[in-house]
Structure 1
Amino acid sequence: MVELVTARNRNSHERLLQRMYEDRKAVFVDLLKWDLAHDGRRERDQFDDASAEYLIVTDLETSEHLASLRLLRTDQTHILGSLFPELCDGPVPSGPDIREISRMCLSPRHRGSERIVYRNLLASAMTEYALLTGIRAYTGVAEIGWLGRVLSAGWRCEPLGMPRMLGGSMVGALVVHIEPDTIRRLQASGKYHSGVLRMVEREDLAA
């Protein structure tokens, strides 16, 4: 199951969020050696604010964090527009119907084959969320290895500029277009899992 965590339901998912921050520190700081601020156990930054949303793959029985990503509004301060606009050959895509993907984290406690499944669950949930809420595109900044995986996932995706060497790594920016046929494209590539997104806050609004 993939949980949507927003400002509306964050209090009920505080334990899951703390586990996510701990895994982010284990992956990005301990494993990948990114120069990020942390408190010794958890990695959080200035973009983990009240407007940030999270898609979190979780075990419903144990509430274990399995994988996650953060979504930032692009009509507000975000990573590509604020920190890396030079990665775009043209204007940075932004607007109320575009979100930025960041901090995609796959739990280091699981095997590679399991992490691939979790990554595909996130891609499926991203697509479902966009189609349900009118999001037309996602942008992101990624190292070259991840960039290749995202570009080849099956959806319509394109680089926003040539990758550049930043902080010792080759990094690029991309945009993923979410369209009526995106689910079909992901199904064709074997990466789509149907009905994985749990949006409790929208169920509450409809009640």
Structure 2
Amino acid sequence: MINVSARVQPSCQKEAMRAMFAARKQVFVDLLGWDLPVLEDRFEIDQFDTPDARYLILLGAEGQHRASARLLPSTGPHILGDLYPHLCDGEVPRGPAILEISRFCLDRDQDSASRLSARNQLVTALVDHALREGIGCYTGVAELGWLAQILRFGWHCEPLGEPKGDIGSKIGALSIRIDNETRASLKCTGIYAPLSLQLVESREPVA
């Protein structure tokens, strides 16, 4: 399924997906050094990129990747439930209205101001998508530095347990409640940014 609202033509969808997977490789493998599978030495695609995954992809005026995120149903295989359940003090949150955010990716080929703008627009798109689709909660796993940023965005976000790991590489789990007050909360912190980039919302099998 692809829902392209005011944004890109369906014919651009596959190119947007390829650009996203290429950007993920540049960020998570080349820059951060994560040990992840790479296809054709260009695309970072893992076992969670299944037909059940959804993607939000922000594109620039020329169709270039700016930012993206993957959403995984918590009722099926996902990173927190399958790889890091020990990060939760209690049970891993699961349910049809709970999705996991993963692979939040900001393209490397932009300056710091453009990355900040793309980040804010992607966070905004995540909230708007949740409110439109009846998603009441997002979960996720993040390294400590990124976790601290997420907690400061202004939405109702709570750690699910104490971060674990070695000093300098700790990771933690979190939950983000989305409701009718979330947009106003993000506006108060300056995060909420109405969309000016092109957005692809996709749930497509990975080719």
State the TM-score bracket (shorter-chain normalisation).
0.7 to 0.9
For the residue of structure 2 that corresponds to 1:82, the secondary structure is helix
Please give the per-residue CA displacement for 1:149-192, whole angstroms capped at 9, x wherever unaligned: 00000001000000011697210000010011100000000111
Q: Secondary structure at the match of 1:18?
A: helix
User: 1:18, 1:46 → 2: CA distance?
Assistant: 16
Per the normalisation by structure 1, the TM-score is 0.87
Aligned residues: 195
1:199 Cα deviation from its structure 2 partner? 7.2
Task: Tell me the amino acid that sits aligned with residue 69 of structure 1.
Answer: A
Unaligned ranges ≥5, structure 1 = 202-207
**Contact 1:52–1:71 (8 Å) recurs in 2:** yes
Q: CA deviation at 1:133?
A: 1.2
1:13 alignment partner AA: Q
- RMSD in angstroms over aligned alpha carbons? 2.3
**Counterpart secondary structure, 1:101:** strand
Instruction: Please list, as runs of the form range in 1=range in 2, the aligned pairs for 1:1-207 lying within 5 A after superposition.
Output: 12-39=12-39, 40-59=41-60, 61-165=61-165, 169-194=169-194
Task: Considering Cα pairs closer than 8 Å and 6+ residues apart, tell me whether 1 or 2 has the greater RCO.
Answer: 2
Identical-residue share of aligned pairs (%): 45
Counterpart secondary structure, 2:37: coil
Answer whether contact 2:58 2:122 (CA < 8 A) is retained: yes
Question: Which aligned runs of 4 or more in structure 1 are off by greater than 3 angstroms?
Answer: 9-12, 195-201
Q: 2: distance between equivalents of 1:199 and 1:22? A: 16
Structure 2 unmatched ranges of 5 or more: 203-207
Taking a change above 3 Å as real, the CA distance of residues 200 and 102 of structure 1, as seen in their structure-2 partners, is: closer
Q: Structure 1, residues 113-137: CA drift from partner, whole Å, max 9, x if none?
A: 2111111111101111111111000
- How many angstroms apart in 2 are the aligned matches of 1:119 and 1:161? 25
TM-score scaled to structure 2, two decimals?
A: 0.87
